[in-house]
Chains A and B, each alone.
Chain A
Amino acid sequence: QVQLQESGPRLVKPSQTLSLTCTVSSGSIASGTSYWTWVRQPAGKGPVWIGRISAIGSTTYNPSLQSRVTLSLDTSNNQFSLKLTSVTAADTAVYYCATLPIQDGTAGWFDSWGQGTLVTVSA
């Protein structure tokens, strides 16, 4: 099973851009067997899916965040990244990277997760 590790700044100022990277080990992001995704979880609440990116860089985003989110791949370093612009306090959450395995052409459940990183939006 793949291993995932999030990294990036833990504190972001309001109106700035949140940037996180997920490093993948024990698997290749170019394999085409999974989508690479980001999920966030505000304190005491359920997870919220942010978006997914395929091995060829095709992206799909949660409509509620679409205008502010960009996912990208770095196949040379086996990493994928999240950028969220114009952040507010409402974006404070634990951010997870996770995998969506592709089976029979569809992908529905998240089978590997990182440990998560708490990002706080505050001046």
Chain B
Amino acid sequence: EIVMTQSPATLSVSPGERATLSCRASQSVSSNLAWYQQKPGQGPRLLIYGASTRATGIPARFSGSGSGTEFTLIISSLQSEDFAVYYCQQYNNWLPYTFGQGTKLEI
């Protein structure tokens, strides 16, 4: 099973600033990586797939990059609605699909 490790666990930033979230895979997952946003009491929301392709309706301030074992989600100019928990998920070796433990983005 591929283990996904996210850092930092918590990231404190201010509205208008840029946030950089990291995700590392225990072995190469090529570009088969997705990012999700989760707010309290809600299911995760797909942001990025294929490491860098924004899902339908996702604002351009969200961008993903990376391949192999190292990935980054950048949120430029943070809005108040962006404060949430973010998860990465690999689907290269999809049995099983695995998620990271999350990064909490807080003010």
Contacts and interface: CB of A to CB of B under 8 A. Distances in A.
A74 interface: no
Interface stretch (B14-22, B65-73, B92-100): B92-100
Chain A contact residues, majority secondary structure: loop
Nearest to A108: B91
Interface string B52-64: 0001100000000
A108 B49 contact: yes
Interface in A1-35: 1
A29 B13 CA distance: 41
Contacts of A62: 95-96
Interface string B65-107: 0000000000000000000000101010011111111100000
Interface residues of A, number: 21
Contact of B96 (A46, A49, A109, A110): A49
Interface of B is mostly: loop
Contacts of B1: 63-64
A46 B100 CA distance: 6
B49 to A, nearest CB: 4
A48 B97 CA distance: 8
Interface string A87-102: 0000000001010000
B28 interface: no
A114 interface: yes
B18 to A, nearest CB: 24
A6 B91 CA distance: 24
Given A47-B89, A47-B99, A108-B94, 17 more contacts: A45-B102, A46-B87, A47-B87, A49-B96, A49-B98, A64-B96, A107-B94, A109-B34, A110-B44, A111-B46, A113-B43, A113-B44, A113-B45, A114-B43, A115-B41, A115-B43, A116-B42
